[in-house]
Structure 1
Amino acid sequence: MNDFKVTIIDSLSFYERCLQEQVDENAFRYEIMQPLEEMWQYLNAPLTPKTPGGYDVVMASEMLGIWTPRKNTSLIESNVASLKKTEIFSECRQVLRKSAQYFSEIGYEIPVDEFIVNILLGDPENSVLMASEGYSGFGGIPGYILLIVVPNEFNRTRLKSALAHEFNHNVRFTYEPFNHGDISVEDYLVIEGLAEVFAEELYGIEQRGPWVQDYDDEELEYTIAVMKDGREARGFDQVSAYMYGDEVAREQGYQPVGLSRNAGYTIGYHLVKDYLKNTGKTIAEATLTPSETIVNESKIFD
């Protein structure tokens, strides 16, 4: 039985204060991000910049699409109450317990004593975030989960599913650590496919994220062929072009490879679905299976 502590950062109180008084970036840095300092260290983002105006957690947060006090509070004015109404703060622990149960059932003790969850308001001026229906997350470092949200009709019912997706990343990376600088397209397909199929298993296909697209047979076949040719490419800049598609690649300064939005997420989803169908494995078992095995037994590139 997996037993762990869940700590939820009280970001709501911080945002409510931002609407009532002048709050600077240092409050964001020390109240909202310091509990995640170890995570940021893994990502080489210091709590405070090493040089004035240099890279730090505030800048890193903005790059992820997180609203910070360096931007106008008018951007979050209506979103604070909307985020509270989703009830994700009160449901968060239940999501993680429910997710962990899948691994308890196959006898895997997750080697994490505490999960720190930070549910944050997104920046509605961030085009990449808004292109994914106003929400995204980060679960690349076991023990830490970020959920970034600009609340809207589409995502407000899908936040539990998004948390389950990020929890799956956390568990996966206790088995196969995430190597941001040397990850391959093939590895990333498996990582994202596992997480989205896991979330679907818990909360149903109707709660699936927008990153899985509905392709017709022709586009699916074409996209698989492009992925097959590029699946050995490594490094986050190259991988991103395959995962996010040409539109985001251009926005982020990466070389487009001829793919539509979120192509990698879509193919990863089908890859994992095919693996489960071909092997009869559960999604929890698949989460603890080498990427190479999943790809080979999915037969998606045969």
Structure 2
Amino acid sequence: MNTINLECVDSLSFYKNFQDKQSNEDTFRYEIMAPFKKMWDYLNAPMTPKSLGGYDVLMASEMLGIWTPRKSFNLIENQIDPLEQTNIFKEYSDVIETALARFTKINYQIPLDIIHLNILLGDPENKLLMASEGYSGFGGIPGFILLIVVPNDFNRIRLKSALAHELNHNIRFTYEPFNRGNISVEDYLVIEGLAEVFAESLYGQEFRGPWVQDYDEEEMSYTIEVMKDGRNVKGFEEVAAYMYGDEVATAQGYNPVGLSRNAGYTIGYHLVKAYLKNTGQTIEQATLTPTEIIVRDSKFFQ
């Protein structure tokens, strides 16, 4: 099996140096985000804007809920020590190595030489980030993982699980690449379901993310029917409304479809659980299984 190296950006030093006025906006661009340039290039986010006030890596970061030096340092000044005290900077390598070993056991040759990790303080003024208990992540491009955190009592003990979730995305997309323009509701349900069930398999249900909601029987039945009717809808902007629910869809300018927050994450989780139960497959095997087979054999929409 190939060896996958792991490189974690030293964001803690950046924040501490910023406190001492030794870091600035350019440091953020060229030290914190430069290791992710390939990812940002893929997302069409240049290191510097092409025109004054134009789209760049800082603007893209802020859209993801990341604090940048364009905002007041007072927003994160008291979050630096709590972030360090979560111990994620000491534990991230064990999380990733343990997760990768699960795929080695099923003889999947992960086509990556290196995984870049960036653990960043989130913007406490970002409403979407704070609505997900102050943490989020991005693992949509193989070889690059962002973990975004405003540390609190809820998320500080769930960061390992969140990292495993994002790593599962990385591995899934080496097998079945993410296609933003052609992604369907079914695709996205499976993607998020696989990631959360994988994280749960490593760290337990008690550390599950807030994106999986506890619906009562009536709401679950209703939500499944809405998903069933819309499961072949394609295109990220249309699919996002099914995944995130009406509140987020409205805030982001998508057309709401009559769903509660994180509906797609919840249904995806239960769909993947049903697939594993019906087939006896492991979550690692499922991660390397086509969407249509998972949906079909889950019998979730029958």
| Structure 2: stretches of 5+ with no match in the other structure | none
**1:133 corresponds to:** 133
Q: Distance in 1 between matches of 2:121 and 2:66?
A: 6
Residues 39-78 of structure 1: matches in 2 within 5 Å? 39-78=39-78
1:24: how far off? 3.1
Amino acid at match of 2:153: E
**2:15 corresponds to:** 15
For the 8 Å contact 1:8–1:116, the answer to whether it is kept is: yes
For the 8 Å contact 1:2–1:104, the answer to whether it is kept is: no
Amino acid at match of 1:112: L
2:174 aligned with 1:180: no
- 2:160 is paired with a residue of what secondary structure? helix
Q: Distance in 2 between matches of 1:34 and 1:262?
A: 32
TM-score (norm 1): 0.99
Residues 241-260 of structure 1: matches in 2 within 5 Å? 241-260=241-260
2:157 aligned with 1:157: yes
2:202 aligned with 1:202: yes
**1:35 corresponds to:** 35
Q: Distance in 2 between matches of 1:2 and 1:262?
A: 36
- 2:38 is paired with a residue of what secondary structure? helix
Q: Distance in 1 between matches of 2:81 and 2:69?
A: 17
- Between the two proteins, what is the percent identity of the paired residues? 70
Q: Distance in 2 between matches of 1:108 and 1:36?
A: 25
TM-score (norm 2): 0.99
| Structure 1: stretches of 5+ with no match in the other structure | none
For the 8 Å contact 1:23–1:69, the answer to whether it is kept is: no
1:2: how far off? 5.1
- 1:140 is paired with a residue of what secondary structure? strand
For the 8 Å contact 2:2–2:113, the answer to whether it is kept is: no
Deviation larger for 178-187 or 128-137: 178-187
- 1:78 is paired with a residue of what secondary structure? helix
**2:298 corresponds to:** 298
Q: Deviations over 1:45-102 (max 9, x none)?
A: 1111111111111000000000000000111011100000011011111100100111
Amino acid at match of 1:221: S
Q: Distance in 1 between matches of 2:301 and 2:260?
A: 19
Q: Distance in 1 between matches of 2:79 and 2:234?
A: 38
1:22: how far off? 6.4
**1:275 corresponds to:** 275
Equivalences, count: 302
Runs of 4+ with deviation above 3 angstroms: none
**2:286 corresponds to:** 286
Amino acid at match of 2:126: N
Q: Distance in 1 between matches of 2:216 and 2:122?
A: 32
Amino acid at match of 2:174: T
1:17: how far off? 1.3
Q: Distance in 2 between matches of 1:231 and 1:129?
A: 26
Deviation larger for 14-23 or 121-130: 14-23
Q: Distance in 1 between matches of 2:23 and 2:238?
A: 38
